[in-house]
Structure 1
Amino acid sequence: MADEVQALTKAFSGLGGLGVDETTMVSTLAQWRKQPEKRSGFRKSFRGLFKEHGVIERCEDEYMLHLAAEFSRFKNLMVLWAMHPWERDARLAHHVLHQAHPPAIAVEIACTRSAEDLLGARKAYQALFHHSLEEDVAFHAKDKPYCSLLVGLVSAYRYEGPKVNEDTAKAEAKALGAALKKKEAAAVENGEVVRILTTRSKPHLVETFKHYKELHGKHIHEDLGSEETLIREAVQCLAAPEMYFSQVMEAALREGADHHGKEALARVAVTRSDVDMDGIRAAYQEQFGARLEDAVAACAHGHFKDALLSLIAGGK
């Protein structure tokens, strides 16, 4: 009896982790049929979900909200997976803008999609919400110092060929260095920084950041202060997306990760599964000394875990 109760408690995600173990729950329904005393024992032992209230054990409202989120993880992942990528990105961006979330997801969409896919997401956004993505970003970020940068990023249509002008890349590396050394204004408000990050091709930016390190002895993100989070995210997404996404996944899997952090797990698994997931797994191994699929298996439960592993590891 004690083992069965413990298994069911874990299935309800009462012992931590992400998602719920649907298989155990369904099995328990069959095994405990016509055994109300077992359900009563479960309620009495599961103090996170139930609390004595007179002659009954009452469900705690706060934990019910937690369970609703955990039950919905698999559903939400599958809905994201089934959507057309352009609609998915449009809905993700709209949710961020209208739920007062940090702008990281908008930066991801703007900086890690191809020019055609970002254009497609903007078209989908207009069709779904009857506003342009650019105007909604401009409105919701109008009082933020990063407004011009974020509008420029979501509006971009970058050249995607391999050609890079080395002299221009070197000159712009110097310009970025000069902008970051200025203390009177934040780099995110510097017009030259915004121009370079929002218009140049990704191969050009990779070369520019390489020259920046040669000139200044460190990566550009190391010269960005704690208040320059959005520029740091943009730089990583543009030049090293696999490293960026591996860090997002690691943060989502940490004990104590907040709601936004946990939601990133499904988002990254779905949006990167057929793009650069092999590279993300390699970057995770290099940075954190563990396999990403092992970390997910240790943290997630049930169908949500199985779906995540299918997207992250595939047949490997």
Structure 2
Amino acid sequence: MSTVAVPSPPPTASEDAESLRKALQGWRADKAALIGILCRRTAAQRAAIRRAYAFLYREPLLNCFRYKLSRHHLLSVDFWKALILWTMDPAERDANLVHEAVKKKDENNILVLIEVSCTSTPDHLMAVRNIYHKLFSCSIEEDVASSPALQEPLKKMLVSLVSSYRYAGDHVDMDVAKLEAAQLSEAIREKQLHRNEVVRIISTRSKSQLRATFQKYKEDQGTDIAEDINSRCGSQFGRMLKSAVWCLISPEKHFAQVIRYSILGLGTYEDMLTRVIVSRAEIDMKQKGGVQGEVQERHDHRRRRRHLFRVQEHVAGLGRERRLKSVPPPVYAPPSPLSVRKKNVSS
């Protein structure tokens, strides 16, 4: 469900392309105009604008953004990075995020692989894989399997996740759920999460089947499977498996946690925050039960007010205007819009 507020009636793609051309002229690009156009268009409309821009001016729109990024043009690097990601087709965006993430060793980038492979529909993940192949002349599976930044057994699970094509229907086999809940319970109890059957279950079963399996696990064990993984298995593999479980059945919980982590402490992990806001804005950022709702559920009233304002304050690159379009207003407002700080406030 999209949370992008599109004007009615919207301008044509050619009109938007002409307006963008004007906004990009000169040394200082018109930030407000760029935000006002692109951040109020759906993915399909943005794709049409890119085609119209290329037809009218014989150059790709993203190349113009990248040129501005290389020169900074008085606007932040984060702004241009975020605008480039937002303007991309969703599958193209995910393919580029995966390509950057697979080169890096830290867990924040491993999470990108898990997010793309586990929150996507089967058709979207297939589209990501196809675009990745065209852009980078190799498969995602090949790059993940050969990445020196990834180690076994995590690498094995990631290869299985990115190459998966799950059944997308609602059919559930309760006998299978019972059997696999028991297998998962044994693996967690014995701290052997890397077992073949665990990787097979997580990487091949449909989301409906996994919900039934995890529910059966909770009925049998009295605790949530993600909680047990977190409390009993503190390894990197365990942390990534827990993230995969959340991304598969409760992505809003995972992304709320990523948002929280990205803005707590000293400084802000701008790339993480940008990734979440840009990728979820047209899915579940503002809808009931989505990422924003999960942020509100996981914090008491006082901390929630600060937390939501800090999301607005720190959504990377897209600026205050864009932030206010993606993230609902906090429970309270600062004394003045002009007093928005650049640094974090303590929780």
TM exceeds 0.5?
A: yes
Detail structure 1 runs of 4+ shifted over 4 Å in the superposition.
298-303
- Could you say what the CA RMSD is over the residues aligned between the two structures, in angstroms? 2.3
One-letter identity of the residue aligned with 2:82: L
Partner of residue 100 from structure 2, selected from 87, 92, 95: 95
Aligned to 1:285: 296
Q: TM-score, normalised by structure 2?
A: 0.66
Partner of residue 91 from structure 2, selected from 86, 95, 98: 86
Partner of residue 167 from structure 1, selected from 164, 175, 180: 175
1:146 has 2:154 as partner: yes
CA 1:301–1:244 in 2, change beyond 3 Å: closer, same or farther? closer
One-letter identity of the residue aligned with 1:134: E
In structure 2, how many angstroms separate the alpha carbons of the residues matched to 1:78 and 1:301? 10
Partner of residue 237 from structure 1, selected from 237, 241, 247: 247
Partner of residue 111 from structure 2, selected from 101, 104, 114: 104
| Partner secondary structure for residue 313 of structure 1 | coil
CA 1:177–1:88 in 2, change beyond 3 Å: closer, same or farther? same
Q: TM-score, normalised by structure 1?
A: 0.72
CA contact (8 A) 2:270 2:314 kept: no
Aligned to 2:163: 155
Cα deviation for residue 119 of structure 1 reads: 0.3
The unaligned stretches of length 5 or more in structure 2 are 1-30, 33-71, 330-347
Q: Deviations over 1:30-52 (max 9, x none)?
A: xxxxxxxxxxxxxxxxxxxxxxx
Cα deviation for residue 230 of structure 1 reads: 0.9
Q: Which has the larger displacement, 212-221 or 140-149?
A: 140-149
Partner of residue 297 from structure 1, selected from 312, 316, 327: 312
CA 1:144–1:257 in 2, change beyond 3 Å: closer, same or farther? farther
In structure 1, how many angstroms separate the alpha carbons of the residues matched to 2:91 and 2:157? 22
CA contact (8 A) 1:251 1:257 kept: no
| Partner secondary structure for residue 264 of structure 1 | helix
One-letter identity of the residue aligned with 1:170: K
Partner of residue 323 from structure 2, selected from 278, 289, 308: 308
Q: In the comparison of the two structures, how many residue pairs are matched? A: 244
After superposition, where does 1:199-278 map in structure 2 within 5 Å? Answer: 199-224=204-229, 225-227=233-235, 228-257=238-267, 261-277=269-285, 278=287
1:135 has 2:150 as partner: no
Cα deviation for residue 163 of structure 1 reads: 1.1
Cα deviation for residue 199 of structure 1 reads: 0.4
Q: Deviations over 1:252-294 (max 9, x none)?
A: 1213256xx3311111111111111121111110002326643
Q: Deviations over 1:106-126 (max 9, x none)?
A: 000000011001000000111
One-letter identity of the residue aligned with 2:90: P
Aligned to 1:5: none
One-letter identity of the residue aligned with 1:234: A
The unaligned stretches of length 5 or more in structure 1 are 1-21, 24-66
One-letter identity of the residue aligned with 2:201: I
In structure 2, how many angstroms separate the alpha carbons of the residues matched to 1:77 and 1:302? 5
Cα deviation for residue 71 of structure 1 reads: 1.6
CA 1:301–1:106 in 2, change beyond 3 Å: closer, same or farther? closer
| Partner secondary structure for residue 152 of structure 2 | coil
CA contact (8 A) 2:177 2:216 kept: yes
CA contact (8 A) 1:164 1:203 kept: yes
CA 1:164–1:252 in 2, change beyond 3 Å: closer, same or farther? same
Larger Rg: 1
In structure 1, how many angstroms separate the alpha carbons of the residues matched to 2:309 and 2:274? 16
CA 1:132–1:299 in 2, change beyond 3 Å: closer, same or farther? closer
Cα deviation for residue 299 of structure 1 reads: 4.2
Aligned to 2:123: 116
| Partner secondary structure for residue 298 of structure 2 | helix
